[in-house]
Structure 1
């Protein structure tokens, strides 16, 4: 337990730190890019389309901005019957939401590239439903920048597109080591741009972990050697349903 004055910062120290060699490990916990990419994609899509349960904007988030003294022009406006949230740079109008969903609904990709995106779009309420990990992978890699190309304010759209390009570069099968330092600098700038134009509630731990992905590529090699897609393909539905703690690895 570490204390900062009267405030307790940490409540538990992992038992792994008792291992003699633990402090010498350059990578103590390998980050799973697949789930980081999925959670970041869910946060972006959920916030842009205001999907319940995945939207990072709301009254509580706006009040947090007010308490921190930033973006005070976005504070809730209380009326007699309802509370109005002024539109932020990340908010889409109803017509823009329909435009984004229509873009996804009309996309056609080569066979085997991804699932049928058309089946994931609900035009009635302008939402994307039932996104799986690989769906989020294809959205972040290629499809999302196309869908938002004519909506949002340009700075916010530019920041999201930069993040999509980062995931595209980090997941490549061949990585130019000489470009990793520049890629790491670029993702820091990208997250600063997102923080500038998006609500602070958007930045959970998954968005923070993006900063560390380039370091792990430098130490551990390409992402596709370490992410969870092969293991989830190996573990069939029966294993996933009957086991929540064990991890079954393929045997040689």
Structure 2
């Protein structure tokens, strides 16, 4: 029952080239940076990543991207990473863009064993009609379009079919975790972490504070240990601010 692994490199050592990964966090908030760093050091490549976004140019998943380790990304927002845009437009990276709520529900559905669901989100847009570029060619033309989504009408309203997401592995970050894998997230750092933890076949959680089983009240557990296979305590975490905005000082 003790799922603790003290060495991040050991925790991710069996992730192979070509694996699918669900990676938690929102912007730079709540990202599993220690596990991402270990994966970068391991040299694993050809990765198919599912995450709300892809970090920034020098942090988070942006580090793997800059090193050429990511083949495909499923995300809802990618506007903070210039290298991401360069690779996508140059035909080096395959990108599936999906509405944020749909992405969240696709991960949740995968974790709950629901194969697909209908939603109005994206209806009448390139997300649904097959005109969204999945991959560009080197000459700038569209090489591959995302497939058109199945549509169905319920009670006079149209919906599109979205398929659930499950991945080989999930990397998540939690404020507190116990040795059985029960996790607690702090505030907005929980965004997408719980969903990714559910969607991964093997979920690896880095935790800022490791406690003993029973120390987390049952009603405060955000992700139960049944979804988590490995727990990695991290001594310190560099929590960067994605966009720092400060007020100009008021002159005397």
TM-score by length of 1: 0.26
Q: Normalized per residue, which structure has more strand?
A: 2
| Structure with greater helix share of residues | 1
Q: Which structure has the bigger radius of gyration?
A: 1
TM-score (norm 2): 0.26
